[in-house]
Chains A and B, each alone.
Chain A
Amino acid sequence: MSDLFFQPVTELAARLDAKEISSVELMQAVIARTKAVDGRVKAFNSFDEADALAQAAASDARRAAGQARGPLEGIPVGMKDVISVAGQPLTASSKMLANFVSPYDATATLNLRRAGAICWGRLNLDEFAMGSSTENSAFRTTCNPWDLTRVPGGSSGGSAAALAAGEAIVTLGSDTGGSIRQPAALCGVVGLKPTYGLVSRYGLIAFASSLDQIGPFGRTVEDVAITLGAIAGHDPLDSTSFNTAIPDYRAELSKRKGPWRIGIPKEYFGAGLDPEVGAAVEQAIAFYRARGCEIKEVSLPHTEYGVGVYYIIATAECSSNLARYDGIRYGHRSKQAKDVVDLYFQSRAEGFGAEVKRRIILGTYVLSSGYYDAFYLRAQKVRTLIRRDFLNAYREVDVLLTPTSPTPAFKAGAKADPLAMYLCDVYTIGVNLAGLPGISVPCGFSSGGLPIGMQLIGQPFQEAELLAIAHAYEQAHDWKARHPVVASNG
């Protein structure tokens, strides 16, 4: 019973079904664990113990009445603090929204509730999801549970760290340029960025609207498949939501057996890749080859332009999206302002942190008169070429296999230069620009004991196939059996 909080959903659902445990007991175990370790991990911005226990009691009542809603019934799901949960804080880890309370549920939240899940806590992130280390949070720097002196990745660092440390059973994050996959890799858990349009963005705080997607973190591919099945689906409240049938992702895992044609993009194995990460990914490639898969080198020739395209498009969209924070209707309002226009200037100056300001400046610059064609329009065209690279590769292969992050978790404070931090995303941003699904799966540990992740990149709306390919690897490896040792709060 003591390690309930390290069990996958599938195991806990069986125990809940067998009445060996109740959801309230599970929630209590997760709360106790969170209280014991979060003083060190600092994954949570806040949590509402009474609300979580009330949701768990309601779940137990449903189960007792024979009205259990499926495998997530009674399972605590940690929520990144950019996804609205009615009546709970929604801060985006920004001073701008320090006191904001969500008036309604995001569609992903509502879908979790319909699946019987417990919405648990508010998980830390880089302010407005802008960053790769969670150091840009206005409130706290989350620590990597495998080595507290290192970052958990970002921007969904709280979601990855909480899961790795046993402070939630699954979590939700959002991914604009790698913000689910990179922290999943750095914290040794599974993280999926779905195809753009598969999961509704209604109720997700907007960063870059043409790139943002909500997605799940889990201990296993199966847990991620279950959670994706719960949150995916067409939503009239998001006009970019795609109307497509949602398969039973969990059932599909064992039905799809390959062998698959696996593409290895040569541009993802060049300079800058840590040798231990490269070796771990090579071993994963060898596994698929031994399993009868065809391994084929492919080229994504515009890869080197990905970071540049991303930091034009993402910052342009962010400068537009964040214009809404003006100190008038909600959010931080300056007390220093002389008049209403000055109120905008001062409220935004006081409410936003340095990285958000930098991105607003860059995004405003690339959209401004005289620069639009040279930067923004050109970036959108190169985006077309990047997307075309992927679609060309998929004529020859079913899936692409790459490292998720060039290195394992780095030390907090190690990347003070913004451009150095941006280059962390080199392997993950192409997926967002092309709108594809990507998953990070643990594939080993460094000699220093840090988790390493590999990324599998699938074809649009082919999550069932992507998850099955990841599942095949996971079934033959036991990386998930290792858990970080986090001392209780001193």
Chain B
Amino acid sequence: MSAPTDLNIDHVANLARLALTPEEKAKFAQQVGDVIAYIEQLKQVDVTGVEPTAHAFPVSNVWADDVARPGLSVEDALRNAPAQRDHMIVVPKVVE
């Protein structure tokens, strides 16, 4: 199947914060293009006056009382951090 879509793989990968190799770009553009060509069939459906469904059973206005509950300790919360120091997550320098 060809991919007659206007998928701009560089633009989309940039939006998704995803570094791709040249090989990945070529392969994914083709594969995702095939899927987009397939899902174009939805354009045949008459959706005039049809409301969109975000959830099958919408539950709205779920409130919780604003009271403090026990939570994770700092140690537990940081247990999976790739780098930490003094109860903080270490990241590369953001400002010069």
Contacts and interface: CB of A to CB of B under 8 A. Distances in A.
Interface of A: 99-101, 103-104, 195-197, 210, 236, 239-242, 302, 304-305, 307-309, 311-312, 319, 323, 326-333, 337, 339-341, 343-346, 348-349, 352, 354, 357-358, 360-362, 364-365, 368, 374-375, 377-385, 387, 417-419, 422, 433-436, 460
B68 interface: no
Contacts of B7: 365
A358 B28 contact: yes
B52 A380 contact: yes
Contact of B15 (A307, A343, A368, A433): A368
B43 interface: yes
Contact of A433 (B18, B56, B82): B56
Contact of B80 (A103, A346, A354): A103
What secondary structure prevails in chain B residues at the interface with A?
loop
- Shortest Cβ-Cβ A-B pairs, 8 listed: A435-B56, A380-B52, A333-B82, A330-B80, A349-B19, A381-B47, A308-B39, A345-B19
A196 B57 CA distance: 7
B59 A240 contact: yes
Interface in B4-59: 7, 9, 11-13, 15-20, 24, 28, 31-32, 34-36, 38-39, 41-43, 45, 47, 50-57, 59
B39 A312 contact: yes
Contacts of A311: 35, 39
**B contact residues, range:** 35 or more
Given A360-B18, A383-B53, A329 B92 contact: no
Contact of B53 (A326, A328, A349, A384): A384
Contact of A239 (B11, B16, B62, B80): B62
Nearest to B50: A381
Contact of B12 (A337, A361, A418, A436): A361
A358 B32 contact: yes
B16 A382 contact: no
A361 B9 contact: yes
Given A309-B42, A379-B42, A433-B56, A345 B17 contact: yes
Contact of B52 (A239, A357, A383): A383
Q: Which of B11, B52, B53, B62 has the most CB of A within 10 A?
A: B53
Nearest to B29: A361
Contact of A210 (B31, B32, B56): B56
Nearest to A304: B41
Contacts of A364: 12, 15-16
Interface of B: 1, 7, 9, 11-13, 15-20, 24, 28, 31-32, 34-36, 38-39, 41-43, 45, 47, 50-57, 59, 62, 64, 72, 76-77, 79-83, 89, 91-94
B57 A435 contact: yes
Given A360-B16, A383-B53, A387-B56, A340 B82 contact: no
Contact of B18 (A339, A345, A379, A422): A345
B47 to A, nearest CB: 4
Contact of A330 (B55, B57, B62, B82): B82
Contacts of B9: 361
A262 to B, nearest CB: 22
B31 A418 contact: yes
Given A242-B59, A339-B92, A378-B47, A361 B16 contact: yes
B10 to A, nearest CB: 11
A241 B93 CA distance: 41
Given A333-B83, A340-B92, 8 more contacts: A104-B72, A239-B59, A240-B57, A311-B35, A328-B91, A375-B42, A379-B42, A381-B52
Contacts of B80: 99-101, 103, 329-331
Contact of A326 (B17, B19, B76, B79): B17
A135 to B, nearest CB: 15
B55 A240 contact: yes
Nearest to B55: A210
A419 B16 contact: no
Contacts of A339: 92-93
B51 A365 contact: no
A387 B53 contact: yes
Contacts of A436: 56
A242 B55 CA distance: 12
Contacts of A329: 80-81, 89
5 contacts: A311-B39, A319-B16, A343-B91, A361-B12, A384-B53
Contacts of B47: 378, 381-382, 385
Contacts of B38: 307-308, 419
A243 B58 CA distance: 12
Given A103-B72, A380-B52, A242 B57 contact: yes
A418 B35 contact: yes
Contacts of A380: 52-54
A328 to B, nearest CB: 6
A384 B50 contact: yes
A239 B55 CA distance: 12
A330 B76 CA distance: 12
Contact of A196 (B24, B56, B77): B56
